[in-house]
């Protein structure tokens, strides 16, 4: 298993399939000038499946989430999902996406074995969407959400980041819309994910701000710690249920003590935390030739060693936190 010195066991694997994205969200990347990974640096489909197989069969991983960048831009995505769904024991498979390509791929992904999706959508207003993402694709995201629900990729979770002066007044409207469409809405505190390092703690919309806004229209009942487990989102029943809303308060209410995640970057590095400053190279082990070629057991040992050194926390709750230099698009959310 993937255990660290604090006794946490990683059973949830996040796999970034690409650093590329067809949006340019202001809290994630600059509009122009970001240097993409060269194709030879990316893990191949076979390498991704091999690493997932090692994680599932040798290291105790039970859930695999495919991320990006935008994972729907990965040409071999459906095949990767199908091959991972065939593993024994079968992991739970999910996908985090901006939703733009879901209208054409949702049915194929479900048939391949994908269980559910998380779709990022920060606003119900097309003009605000264009400002936030620098792209006019709001309708495509809504159509993708509809397609995901129709294909049975449920529960469909919608991830929302509130930004001061842009969409910070939309929380109640977004929740009403999510309840009406049977989506599970999750608000995420803005984190320092932007390559241009423009994030500032001052003025960010906190979990407390979000809950106060929601309670102007809804009655929220805390679900409780037993129901939450190691999930990053605190959840509340909306008006007595059955619908729920979640808040991921990575900055103001960090949940590192219960973290059960391990991460693979698009270029084959193990990261113990989204904000880790150190990585362990598995790609080199996979590509070594001759006597240096790594067996699955040797790759597993490298992975175990990396996770053993996981730090107690992300550091986000430290006012002196410094943003990692590596662009987050290749690391995955």
Alpha helices in 134-236 (DSSP H): 138-151, 171-181, 207-214, 225-228
Separation between Cα atoms, residue 311 and residue 273, nearest integer Å: 8
Longest dimension (CA), the chain: 65
Q: Please, which residues bridge with residue 20 across strands?
A: none
Phi, psi (degrees; rounded to nearest 5) at 278: -120, 150
Q: What's residue 290's pLDDT?
A: 83
Please name which of 233, 142, 218, 208 lies closest in space to residue 175, comparing C-alpha atoms.
Answer: 218
Structure token digits, residue 165: 């002066």
Distances in Å between the alpha carbon of 150 and those of 81, 105, 116, 147, 323?
A: 19, 12, 12, 5, 39
Contact 74, 44 (CB under 8 A): no
Per-residue pLDDT tens, the chain, 333 aa: give them.
Answer: 999 999 999 999 999 999 988 877 777 766 665 678 899 999 999 999 999 999 999 999 999 999 998 999 999 999 999 999 999 999 999 999 999 999 999 999 999 999 999 999 999 999 999 998 888 999 999 999 999 999 999 999 999 999 999 999 999 999 999 999 999 999 998 865 544 445 455 668 999 999 999 999 999 999 876 665 667 889 999 999 899 999 998 888 878 888 999 999 999 999 998 888 889 999 999 999 887 889 999 999 999 999 999 998 766 655 554 455 455 555 555
Pairing of strands 92-97, 269-271: unpaired
Answering whether pTM is above 0.85, one says yes
> Cα angle at 249 between 102 and 306, to 5 degrees?
80
Distances in Å between the alpha carbon of 173 and those of 55, 93, 143, 215, 329?
A: 40, 30, 19, 12, 29
Q: What's residue 199's pLDDT?
A: 45
Separation between Cα atoms, residue 212 and residue 161, nearest integer Å: 16
């Amino acid at each position: 298993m993937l255990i660290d010195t604090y006794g946490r066991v990683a059973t949830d694997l996040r796999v970034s399939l690409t650093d590329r994205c067809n949006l340019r969200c202001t809290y994630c990347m600059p509009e122009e000038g970001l240097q993409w990974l060269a194709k030879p640096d990316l893990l191949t489909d076979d390498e991704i499946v091999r690493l997932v197989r090692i994680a599932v069969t040798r290291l105790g991983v039970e859930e695999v989430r495919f991320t990006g960048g935008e994972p729907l831009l990965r040409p071999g995505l459906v095949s990767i999902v199908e091959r991972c769904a065939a593993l024994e024991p079968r992991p739970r498979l999910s996908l985090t996406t901006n939703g733009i390509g879901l209208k054409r791929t949702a049915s194929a992904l479900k048939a391949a074995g994908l269980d559910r999706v998380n779709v990022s959508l920060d606003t119900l207003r097309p003009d605000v969407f264009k400002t936030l993402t620098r792209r006019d694709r709001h309708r495509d995201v809504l159509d993708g959400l509809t397609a995901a629900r129709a294909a049975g990729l449920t529960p469909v979770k919608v991830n929302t980041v509130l930004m001061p002066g842009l969409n910070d007044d939309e929380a109640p409207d977004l929740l009403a819309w999510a309840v009406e469409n049977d989506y599970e809405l999750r608000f995420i505190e803005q984190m320092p994910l932007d390559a241009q390092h423009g994030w500032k703690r001052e003025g960010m919309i906190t979990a407390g701000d979000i809950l106060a806004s929601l309670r102007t229209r809804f009655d929220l009942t805390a679900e409780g710690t037993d129901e939450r487990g190691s999930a990053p989102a605190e959840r509340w029943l909306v008006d007595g249920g059955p619908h729920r809303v979640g808040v991921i308060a990575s900055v103001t209410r960090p949940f590192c003590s219960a973290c059960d995640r391990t991460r693979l970057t698009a270029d084959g590095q193990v990261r113990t935390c989204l904000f880790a400053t150190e990585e362990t190279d598995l790609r080199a082990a996979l590509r070594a030739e001759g006597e240096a070629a790594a067996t699955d057991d040797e790759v597993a040992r490298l992975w175990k060693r990396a996770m053993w050194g996981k730090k107690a926390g992300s550091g986000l709750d430290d006012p002196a936190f410094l943003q990692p230099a590596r662009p987050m698009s290749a690391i995955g959310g």
